[in-house]
Amino acid sequence: MNLTLHVWRQAGPNDKGRFEKYEARDISEHASFLEMLDILNEELVEKGQEPIAFEHDCREGICGSCGMVINGVPHSKQKAITSCQLHMRSFKDGDEIWIEPFRATAFPVLKDLVVDRSAFDRIIQKGGYVSVRTGNAVDANATPIPKTDADAAFDAATCIGCGACVAACPNASAMLFTSAKVSHLGLLPQGQPERYKRVEAMVAQMDQEGFGSCTNHGACQNACPKSISIEYIARMNRDLMKAKLLGSKDD
């Protein structure tokens, strides 16, 4: 199939950037979206032009590198996939596709579609570590965990930190990401030490990075490749209120 692409091109962090129009020719419907960009890039290199920079690694939806906004939706309109899991068969011949980087002040564009998501790393770092001597690895079932808690913690832990939630949110809020990270520890017995200290520190860092404020649209959970629910946001709100208002401590 043949496609018309409008791709955001930006030489570096200080470049103003602009959309460039490209024609992608003879793309197989079996190609993935990133492969389509690879094919286009080869052509650009042959013509002596700069290839389109985009981030990718695993190409199977588990690393969270490949973030881009495809026709106005992070990771495309398809539910519960990352950009690398998108196949060209979801487009048809002659389609026009707009490809933009994730937009947030806290995610500055480095080049073309590549943004700097270290803000997420700093939020995680603020979560710190649980300061207990762990000794040897314990038996997997030594601490009984109710099945519902284990499942809920696991669902939160499926967050791959891709940033689609921020990109989809009209407020560029990082509440879904932060709440998933807060909850996957907070729901487990092993995460109880420093639970409240953690939520306070992570939320403070989230605010400091300049993410916006949630208005409960739910755009984040729709864009999330792992379909993480905004119920975790409510959970994080509760933990923060307990920490600040009731002075809940855990050390």
Partner 1 sequence: MRGVLALYQSTIGKKVVMAVTGLMLVGFILGHMAGNLKIYQGAEKYDAYAAGLRELGKPLLGHYQAIWLARLGLLAAVGLHIWSALSLTSASRKARGTGYKKFDDVSMSYASRTMRWGGVILLAFIVYHLLHLTVGTVHREFEYGAVYQNVVLAFQRWPVSVVYIVANLALAMHLYHGIWSMTQTLSLTNNTILRVRRPLAAGIALVVLAGNISIPLSVMLGVISL
103 in contact with partner 1 (CB under 8 A): yes
Tell me which of ligand HEM, partner 1, ligand FES, none is bound by residue 20, counting a contact when its beta carbon lies within the kind-specific cut-off of 5 to 8 angstroms: none
Taking CB within 5 to 8 Å according to partner kind, which of partner 1, ligand HEM, ligand FES, none is near residue 240?
A: partner 1
Stretch that binds partner 1, among 42-50, 132-140, 171-179, 181-189 (CB under 8 A): 171-179
Site for ligand HEM in 159-218 (CB under 6 A): 215-216
| Helix, strand, coil share of the chain (percent; to 5) | 40, 15, 50
Q: Total residues at the site for ligand HEM (CB under 6 A)?
A: 2
106 binds partner 1 (CB under 8 A): yes
CA distance 214 to 224: 15
Which helix H or strand E contains 7, and what residues bound it?
Answer: strand 3-9
User: What pairs with residue 74 in β-bridges?
Assistant: 69
CB of 199 within 8 A of CB of 127?
no
Q: Is 126 helix (H, G, I), strand (E, B) or coil?
A: helix
Residues at the site binding partner 1, with contacts judged by CB under 8 A: 6, 8, 19, 69, 71-73, 77, 98, 100, 103-106, 168, 170-173, 203-204, 206-207, 210-219, 222-223, 230-231, 233-238, 240-241, 244-247
